[in-house]
């Protein structure tokens, strides 16, 4: 059974803090192992990647077969049923349309002294997208990572999609093709991250790596950060549902279970102002849990990390939500727009009881790569901007340099950086000589 908290209980604050700070995943100390893998790949390149793939994925590769050929992708894509292809194409279009609106604008202007100032946006040249394999092989993750990169203007997109025992997911390859991915490598784990970051004879290095993975992948992303950019270090999925009594308990139960079935360490939380509705939702979860194929996973998540909170009003729910800073926030209330204005910290907000979080996972348009573990307090979900960088522009005129240069000289002197100051002084002196 989940935890039950009531905001009026004397020990509520203590128990809420415990809930906030609970460690939800078993993160073994993999850093040393990952460090060795990265070093091996840096030193031996393809040979190390091939050996590690055989060891962990039971797949024998050669440099020539590290990546899927165009013909192999064609064959796998043909296996996708028409209904699934149509759904994937609709998702790709909606995700593309949404992310196209995120493209930032360049700016350029002249200030009051005549100096030209501004900035210019440009895409990274190459991006590597990690797609988990095995049971967690999700074509939706391909779309959500690759499409923003393509919209941003990234010139080269590579995917690492492990294929344990040589078994691949045709939908993943179709999603890659729909997203404009150039190369799909059939490798995974820390060795894939290392290969993308440092390159091998066969695998060209990239500038940024995005995408979820296990503890080894997360540790590898931490280690290569600085050599390349990364999106975030993702933890287990989480959902917070704020619901009033005017909801179908089964609907809310399914929403809670939609995250619980991801991972035994996932977390599902319900906050409501009606105790009877809370009880009904819990009963629905217990009933519907038995119908799920992944009931063992969802059951463990609900039992170990699930929580139900009773509040007096929805304003209190909004305050608690901001402290939780959930990855996914559903507002199943009469006026979700008004309540959303009272919340600041959430990866994504789903407004109204006709907007289940699953819509966001697949077809809504916004990205489903979102900050977890309360990091929505300071970070955002994946977007076009993650594949772009801003370059500032500045051009002085003689008048502008005369106007602001002396202040630069003073500040350089105050910091003891003589050449800094002289670089301005020399130009000002030349201007003065020419005027004379």
Q: So which residues are the catalytic ones?
A: 327-328
Q: Is 128 helix (H, G, I), strand (E, B) or coil?
A: strand
Q: How many residues does the chain have?
A: 436
Can you tell me which residue has the tokens 């992303």? 221
Q: Which residues pair with 225 in a beta bridge?
A: 228
Kind of pairing, strands 126-130 and 208-210?
parallel
Plot region of 313 (φ>0 → left; ψ -120 to 50 → alpha; else → beta):
beta
Apex 251 CA angle, 374 and 377, nearest 5? 10
Distance CA(211)–CA(145), nearest Å, equals: 7
Distance CA(266)–CA(263), nearest Å, equals: 5
Residues 6+ apart with CB under 8 A from 106: 118, 119, 120, 121
φ, ψ of residue 136 in degrees (nearest 5)? -100, 35
189-198 and 46-57 are packed helices; what angle lies between their axes, rounded to 10 degrees?
Answer: 160
Residues 6+ apart with CB under 8 A from 70: none
Q: Exposure pattern of 349-386 as b/e (b: 16+ CB <10 Å)?
A: bbbebebbbbebbbbbebbbbbbbbbbbeeeebbbbbb
DSSP-derived letter for residue 328 is E
Distance CA(94)–CA(100), nearest Å, equals: 10
Contact yes or no for 371/381 (Cβ under 8 A): yes
Contact yes or no for 221/233 (Cβ under 8 A): yes
275-289 and 295-305 are packed helices; what angle lies between their axes, rounded to 10 degrees?
Answer: 150
């Amino acid at each position: 059974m989940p935890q039950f908290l009531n905001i009026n209980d004397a020990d509520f604050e203590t128990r809420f803090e415990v809930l906030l700070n609970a460690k939800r995943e078993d993160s073994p100390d993999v850093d040393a192992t990952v460090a060795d893998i990265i070093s091996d790949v840096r030193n031996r390149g393809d040979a190390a990647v091939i050996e590690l793939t055989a060891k962990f994925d039971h797949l024998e590769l050669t440099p020539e077969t590290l990546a899927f050929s165009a013909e192999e992708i064609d064959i796998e894509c043909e296996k996708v049923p028409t209904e699934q292809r149509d759904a994937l194409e609709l998702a790709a279009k909606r995700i593309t349309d949404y992310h196209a609106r995120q493209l930032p604008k360049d700016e350029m202007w002249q200030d009051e002294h005549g100096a030209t100032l501004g900035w210019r946006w440009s895409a990274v040249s190459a991006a590597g997208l990690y797609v988990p394999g095995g049971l967690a092989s999700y074509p939706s993750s391909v779309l959500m990572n690759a499409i923003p990169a393509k919209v941003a203007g990234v010139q080269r997109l590579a995917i690492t999609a492990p294929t344990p025992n040589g078994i691949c997911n045709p939908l993943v390859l179709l999603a890659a093709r729909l997203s404009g991915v150039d190369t799909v490598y059939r490798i995974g784990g820390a060795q894939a991250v290392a290969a993308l970051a440092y390159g091998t004879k066969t695998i060209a290095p990239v500038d940024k790596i995005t995408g979820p993975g296990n503890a080894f992948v997360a540790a590898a992303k931490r280690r290569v950060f600085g050599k390349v950019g990364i999106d975030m270090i993702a933890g287990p999925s989480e959902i917070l549902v704020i619901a009033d009594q005017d909801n179908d308990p089964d609907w809310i139960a399914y929403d809670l279970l939609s995250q619980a079935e991801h991972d035994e360490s996932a977390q599902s939380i319900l906050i409501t102002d009606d105790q009877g509705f809370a009880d009904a939702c819990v009963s629905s979860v217990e009933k519907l849990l038995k119908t799920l194929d992944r009931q063992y996973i969802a059951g463990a998540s609900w039992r170990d990390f699930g929580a139900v909170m009773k509040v007096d009003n929805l304003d209190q729910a909004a305050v608690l939500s901001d402290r939780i800073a959930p990855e996914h926030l559903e507002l199943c209330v009469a006026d979700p727009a008004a309540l959303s204005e009272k919340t600041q910290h959430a990866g994504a907000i789903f407004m109204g009881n006709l907007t289940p979080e699953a819509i966001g996972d697949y077809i809504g348009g916004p990205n489903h790569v979102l900050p977890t573990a309360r990091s929505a307090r300071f970070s955002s979900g994946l977007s076009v901007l993650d594949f772009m960088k801003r370059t500032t522009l500045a051009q002085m005129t003689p008048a502008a340099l005369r106007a602001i240069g002396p202040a630069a000289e003073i500040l350089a002197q105050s910091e003891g950086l003589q050449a800094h100051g002289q670089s301005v002084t020399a130009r000002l002196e030349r201007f003065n000589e020419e005027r004379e």
